Chains A and B, each alone.
Chain A
Amino acid sequence: MDPCVPAIPTHVPEPSRTDPALIRNFCIIAHIDHGKSTLADRMLQLTGVVEQRQMRAQYLDRMDIERERGITIKSQAVRLPWAPTEGESQGSTHVLNMIDTPGHVDFTYEVSRSLAACEGCILLVDAAQGIEAQTLANLYLAMENDLTIIPVLNKIDLPAAQPEKFAAELAHLIGCDPSEVLKVSAKTGEGVAELLNRVVDTVPAPVGDADAPPRAMIFDSVYDSYRGVVTYVRVIDGQLNKRERIRMMSTGAAHELLEIGVSSPEMNASDGLCVGEVGYLITGVKDVRQSKVGDTITAFTKGATEPLGGYKDPKPMVFSGLYPLDGSDYPELRDALDKLQLNDAALVYEPETSAVLGFGLRVGFLGLLHLDVIRERLEREFGLDLIATAPNVIYRVIMEDGAEHTVTNPSEFPTGKIAEVYEPVVRATVLAPSEFIGAIMELCQARRGTLLGLDYLSEDRVELRYTLPLAEIVFDFFDQLKSKTRGYASLDYEPTGEQTASLVKVDILLHGDKVDAFSAITHKDKAYSYGVRLVAKLRELIPRQNFEVPIQAAIGSRVIARETVRAIRKDVLAKCYGGDISRKRKLLEKQKEGKKRMKMVGSVEVPQEAFIAVLSSDSDGGDAKAKK
């Protein structure tokens, strides 16, 4: 039998009238390119909710960037009817809600809310590659949430597949027998029906109090230019009905339910949603910040008094100044961020002015991928050319007089008597072949890391756990990790708090003038090497001027590194005869265009390329990560 031919069930239960015993809520945990979207596509096809001819690859990934990079940023939930083809529930139509989770390190909180909406999860691992650090981190999150785990190896049709080896690895991780690991090919559809049967058999049905006041948890919130904000919820207790008034419990704000329904995968309005059901609702709000992931929705009248646990406000961890290359594009940049913010509650920004880069915005991100995705969308969808300052973390500075400063821009690091500086720290997990243990430990130590533990996942694969300052990860850590492990290591991290550290601000001065965009906060032991490196690099990038230009790195008034760009002595073409005149005038016009692209730092002309070269090399970690 062709494994892709849909088995369309009959007597499909309707939304708002579904017996919770027939509901299975699950998600898929997988690494970026391990085939989650293909598997989801196959499930849509096999359950008949998407007809073959409508099928396009990776149906659930909506944004172009997601499709191109093969990653999922925004999740969705799909209601699938499924009558198991074998086992104890054979023939009885169940409702499977597949909740698609964002698969990336920066979105841990969103992942945790998606997991909280489920009773089970499919752990999907590429049979040729084994588990990756981010998948492992999400697996631990699922285990903490007491989810039933269904281990699955995908891509078993690949010649390089090693199903026995990685089945043993998965079995070891979740404590099951290797024979329980399912083997599928999302590409051909092989094993997918068995997988759906297994979901019905092993994932517990949701349990809730149908008679209690309604409580539904928001696990996703998406802005749609036609419908406004579409909010995805899982009903825990009670029932939500159409045209009811609801209340967001974190803010107390009341909204009218304009529409409620389920996606399968197009939006289908229903009379409501009952205990255990997953669906969407539309209230007419225009901004996802009014409908926040993790918040609890209840009825406006006779609503619940206790919200569901686990709600957190999204907190930016990484900051970068974004400046339009052409200063007159500033209003466009602002408008573009306003638009992106409609769909991204974690994106925060405020205006900032740089003496050298002009008007820009200091933007806060959840992490490096988030930064990179936003920057790329600004450039691609809004056609903006941007200079982004090196990403930095947020510092808390306590002065000796007790005053406290929060620093999101290194150039605003306070001067004067500082008592303590606090920096954010993360718990990082690195998975790699065991031959690289030495190289990884060396890197983490150099980055001020503290080893928390080391475990063998299998004979030749190891998991290392470290506490690291987030600032060290932001600064090309991922690139270094990849190059020291020939690309085999994977990384995950989550914020765990803050620590005090001996941090200093290093300023860069050109001809005595401070270049605010190049100021950086570093550990005092690293300030010298940072200064030397940046100063040397600038010496290569700054063209010779009519006068000598000293380039200095300084901590306060103490110079720690210095280079000099010698004055230019010759800038004249030897010959200018009849045939040279037109050529020379045209060259002059071109040079004048080039002069317009120079930024003045005091009296020094600095090409924009120099800013981009210096700043982008420091954010390579972000680029590399997003593309892996």
Chain B
Amino acid sequence: MPSALPDGEPMPDDGALPQHALEGAGVRLLGLYLHVPYCATRCGYCDFNTYTPSELRGSGGALASRDNYAAMVADEVRLARKVLGDDPRPVETVFVGGGTPTLLDAADLVRMLAAIRDEFGLAPGAEVTTEANPESVDERYLATLREGGFNRVSLGMQSARQHVLKVLDRTHTPGRPERCVEMARAAGFEHVNLDLIYGTPGESDADWRASLDAALGAGPDHVSAYALIVEEGTQLARRIPRGEVPMTDDDVYADRYLIAEETLTAAGFAWYEVSNWATTEAGRSRHNELYWRGADWWGAGPGAHSHVGGVRWWNVKHPGAYAQALTEGRSPGAGREVLSAEDRRVERVLLELRLADGCPLDILAPAGARAAERALSDGLLQPDMYERGRAVLTLRGRLLADAVVRDLVD
């Protein structure tokens, strides 16, 4: 079951933004996120806005079927162009996520990218990423993407252990993701990410080390390692109270995180966000950095979130309702919130504190500044960076980031 949308104010039919959201846009970077809300099957841990064929059957999903999906998204890209008006910015990053983008034909992904190029233009050296499922790509697919302008691929590896993949409902066989990295390199992709999940019920420290080693062996320049979150409403969340799978202890998550940090650092990676490591600065996900640094991005597709100049909005979740709105010439936006200055300050603290660059101490209120001092003496902030006016988490601080944020936003 997909998670719920936030509460907000209604979105105008034409999707127009308040004037102030567009002011000063020139100095901010602009990215585009394209959501592909389809999966072959739903994984037991997943609460993303995605739909399997059986979930879509008979619920108006035909309006936005996989066949015409690229055209639908292109419609929203044109709407974005209209709403942003004469904003001259080219697009710095494009990220196609899901769902399973690679359930669509490679040509569809290329077509969606073309719509962006047509309407906005791509900045020189723009980063163009798609998520890919190891069992739904092959050499030809990757070659088509590369030729169409994609230059980064993010593969959902999750684990190198069969029994762990099984708990996660992932259907690929161990070894397949590494093979995909090889194919992507061969197709000419400069940047390849592997997504890993740790703390899956039944996973041991040794399983986790094996997954890290397998991932590193494939030679990506970026690794994302996520603690498994048991989200409400998922299959996995129902299985735990029934005793079918054990709940992972928080201390185990902490141990696995330390193993990841140690292993990845030893292999030449450096953390730049709590759950993200890259070999070089160029290997970082520039698109994700837009999220974390308060830049502008337009999210197209059902349930996609956008942010432009302090206005956050989100689209209707169901592909049918989404297609309906666009077909009728309306914005698919379901609701939005206009952030106050304080909201934006709080967001800066909670987002930037997760980064290796940290957040500037001078945006903290007096109570938050006192909390930062305490966090420093508790060993949660790095002393040298603190001296230079920035709150940057130590390794232990990274594991307690939410607690530090709660204190620093005061």
Contacts and interface: CB of A to CB of B under 8 A. Distances in A.
Contact of B229 (A547, A569, A574): A574
Contacts of A588: 346, 350, 405-406, 409
Given A571-B403, A582-B337, A577 B291 contact: yes
Contacts of A592: 406, 409-410
A609 B171 CA distance: 44
Interface residues of A, number: 25
A585 interface: yes
A573 interface: yes
A402 interface: no
B398 interface: yes
B224 to A, nearest CB: 9
B274 A569 contact: no
A570 B350 contact: no
Interface string A431-454: 000000000000000000000000
Contacts of B312: 581-582
Contact of A581 (B228, B347, B399, B403): B347
Contacts of A572: 274, 398-402
Given A569-B251, A569-B399, A570-B254, A575 B229 contact: yes
Interface in B273-287: 274-275
B299 A578 contact: yes
B6 A570 contact: no
Contacts of A579: 299, 303-305, 314
Contacts of A558: none
Interface in A565-612: 566, 568-579, 581-586, 588, 591-592, 595
A582 B343 CA distance: 10
Contacts of A547: 378
B351 A576 contact: yes
B226 interface: yes
Given A581-B347, A582-B6, A595-B406, A570 B288 contact: no
Counting chain B CB atoms within 10 Å of each CB, the highest count among A581, A583, A588 belongs to A581
Interface string B13-50: 00000000000000000000100000000000000000
Interface in B287-344: 288, 291-292, 297, 299, 303-307, 312, 314, 337, 343
A574 B303 CA distance: 21
Nearest to B297: A578
B406 A585 contact: no
B201 to A, nearest CB: 16
Contacts of B146: none
B272 interface: no
A588 B347 CA distance: 10
Interface string B349-376: 0110010000000000000000000000
Contacts of A582: 6, 8, 305, 312, 314, 337
B402 A568 contact: no
B81 to A, nearest CB: 20
Interface SS of chain A: loop
A591 B305 CA distance: 23
Interface string B387-405: 0000000001011111101
Interface string A479-506: 0000000000000000000000000000
B86 interface: no
B297 A571 contact: no
Contact of B343 (A568, A576, A583, A585): A585
Contact of B288 (A569, A577, A583, A585): A577
Contacts of A570: 227, 250-251, 253-254, 257, 399-400
Contacts of A92: none
A22 to B, nearest CB: 74
Nearest to A592: B406
Nearest to A547: B378
Nearest to B403: A571
B351 to A, nearest CB: 7
Nearest to A583: B6
A568 B337 CA distance: 34
A591 B402 CA distance: 10
A546 B381 CA distance: 14
B403 A546 contact: yes
Counting chain B CB atoms within 10 Å of each CB, the highest count among A569, A582, A586 belongs to A582
A585 B401 contact: no
Nearest to A589: B346
Nearest to A573: B402
B250 A568 contact: yes
Contact of A574 (B6, B226, B380, B409): B226
A546 B406 contact: no
Contacts of B297: 578
A582 B335 CA distance: 12
A592 B410 CA distance: 9
A585 B349 CA distance: 10
B250 A569 contact: yes
Interface in A529-577: 546-547, 566, 568-577
Counting chain B CB atoms within 10 Å of each CB, the highest count among A575, A576, A592, A595 belongs to A576
A581 B401 CA distance: 15
Nearest to A582: B6
A571 B343 contact: no
A546 B399 CA distance: 11
A585 B292 contact: no
Contacts of B304: 578-579
A579 B33 CA distance: 11
A577 B307 CA distance: 12
Contacts of B398: 572
Counting chain B CB atoms within 10 Å of each CB, the highest count among A566, A579, A585, A586 belongs to A579
Contacts of B288: 577
Nearest to B249: A570
A620 to B, nearest CB: 28
Contacts of B292: 576
Contacts of B305: 578-579, 581-582
Contacts of A566: 251
A570 to B, nearest CB: 4
Given A571-B401, A591-B406, 6 more contacts: A547-B378, A569-B254, A571-B402, A574-B275, A579-B299, A582-B8
8 contacts: A570-B250, A570-B257, A572-B402, A576-B354, A577-B288, A582-B314, A585-B350, A588-B406
Interface of A: 546-547, 566, 568-579, 581-586, 588, 591-592, 595
Interface of B: 6, 8, 33, 226-229, 250-251, 253-254, 257, 274-275, 288, 291-292, 297, 299, 303-307, 312, 314, 337, 343, 346-347, 350-351, 354, 378, 380, 396, 398-403, 405-406, 409-410
Closest 9 CB pairs of A and B: A569-B254, A574-B226, A579-B305, A572-B401, A570-B254, A574-B227, A571-B403, A570-B250, A582-B6
